[in-house]
Amino acid sequence: MFYHLNGVVTDLEPGLAVVDCGGVGFAVNTTANTVGQLRRGEKAKLYICEQVREDAFDLYGFATPGEKRCFEMLISVSGVGPKAAAAILSVNTPEQFFMAVMGEDERALTAAQGVGKRLAQRIILELRDKLGKQQDELAIKQSGTAVPAAAAGQSMQADLMSALTVLGYTRAECAAAMRGLDLEAMSLEEAIRAALRAMMK
């Protein structure tokens, strides 16, 4: 099983990057957000999600673990294939995707090619509860009580920790990325974006 590929980008096309690893060129399907961060002739590390079917073995790669985690959540939804998931993450960054699901923003999802209103509603319905449950579980662990996150009135710091953890980062990585952020002056989406940038450095 592939976890990541680390090599030189030899070709770039919309939705596709070819990464040369030891003389072998891997064709990696990806998102517009990841393609925008790659440069032909430069080294890159892509986090891989394999998609195996009877007639194909496809690799999907992402610049960050968070984007990979969002992709995996999307393809877990009934009716969402890897192409639709990649399309959604081409028009939404991981933090925008998280906010779209939690804020029930159908338009952010239907902006992706091939994603209609009904599919967007299904994504929100299935993932909102899953993300909300993970947030509540994290809040319980942090507070030591069984009070739901919303009722407990989480602070911005706790909300940010919940969001980043749901996106697949460890608590240690989140804590390190949050150091130095002026959370009082940021919205949750701005804080998530700033923390993700810090983790990529």
- 136 vs 50: CA distance, rounded Å: 30
Record the pTM: 0.74
| Residue carrying structure tokens 């998530």 | 192
**Domains located in the chain, CATH noted:** 4-63 (2.40.50.140), 66-200 (1.10.150.20)
Strand locations in 30-138 (E): 43-53, 56-62
Strands 16-21 and 24-29: antiparallel
Phi-psi region of 77 (alpha: psi -120 to 50; beta: other; left: phi over 0): beta
pLDDT at 200 over 70: no
**How many Cα atoms within 13 Å fall on the side-chain side of residue 160?**
25
Encode pLDDT of 62-110 as tens digits: 998 889 999 999 999 999 999 999 999 999 988 889 889 988 999 999 9
- Burial of 158 from C-beta contacts in 10 A (0-12 / 13-18 / 19+): middle
The pLDDT of residue 38 is 96
**Could you tell me which of 173, 135, 171, 172 has the C-alpha nearest to residue 154?**
135
* Percent of the chain residues topping a pLDDT of 70: 87
- 140 vs 65: CA distance, rounded Å: 25
Element containing residue 20 per DSSP (H, E): strand 16-21
- 111 vs 29: CA distance, rounded Å: 20
Q: How many CB atoms lie under 10 A from the CB of residue 165?
A: 18
Encode pLDDT of 99-113 as tens digits: 899 889 999 999 999
